[in-house]
Amino acid sequence: MYKRIKREDIYKGRIIDVKRDTVLLPNGRETTRELVLHCDACGMVAVDDEGMIILVRQYRYPVGLEMPEIPAGLVEPGETPEACALRELEEETSYKAEHIEHMTSFHTSAGFSNEVLHVYLCTGLKKGNMKLDDDEILTYERHSLEDIKKMIFSGEITDSKTIIGILMYNEMLNNGR
């Protein structure tokens, strides 16, 4: 078992904190580990009554690309992941979901971050009100599952939550769910 001996605050930001821990390894040696602390997040595979999937397209500054993705957002303090998913879906796409089902949760990059991303299937979509944050610039579009799978396998979609969510949804359909 790893034992933390000391923790240093390296950076405190709006959505991440960076820490450096001094750690005692099971073999008795000391080492350091750098970690990014991040709140949980949610991604939604939103499927309309025609079987079309809603993607958002937005510029992602860290990678310098406009990326097609499933809608997603950060879980606010005191909020459940399911409530976050419903809120963020409406804020980013203007759609409200009548039905929501948890598909999976995963660590986005366990080698350096504690972030957990929860993926939901959202169906029974009805128009609501888009409410983008002041720093969000995005559009939404509808695609067939087959088109999105082609976008994944061609490398056009590289976002992990989108790939995981879409492939989970595809597997659910293949198993008659």
For the chain, the domains span 3-37, 40-174
pLDDT in tens, 42-70: 999 999 999 999 999 999 999 999 999 99
> Which of 136, 141, 156, 171 is the catalytic position?
136
pLDDT reported for residue 138: 85
Better pLDDT: 107 or 138: 107
- Go through 66-97 and write b for each residue having 16 or more CB atoms within 10 A of its CB, e for each that does not: ebbbbbbbebeeeeebeebbbbbbbbbbbbbb
Average pLDDT over residues 91-119: 96
CA distance readout (Å), 122 to 69, 83, 155, 176: 15, 12, 25, 17
CATH of 40-174, one of 3.20.20.10, 3.90.226.10, 3.40.50.300, 3.90.79.10: 3.90.79.10
Catalytic residue status for 171:
no
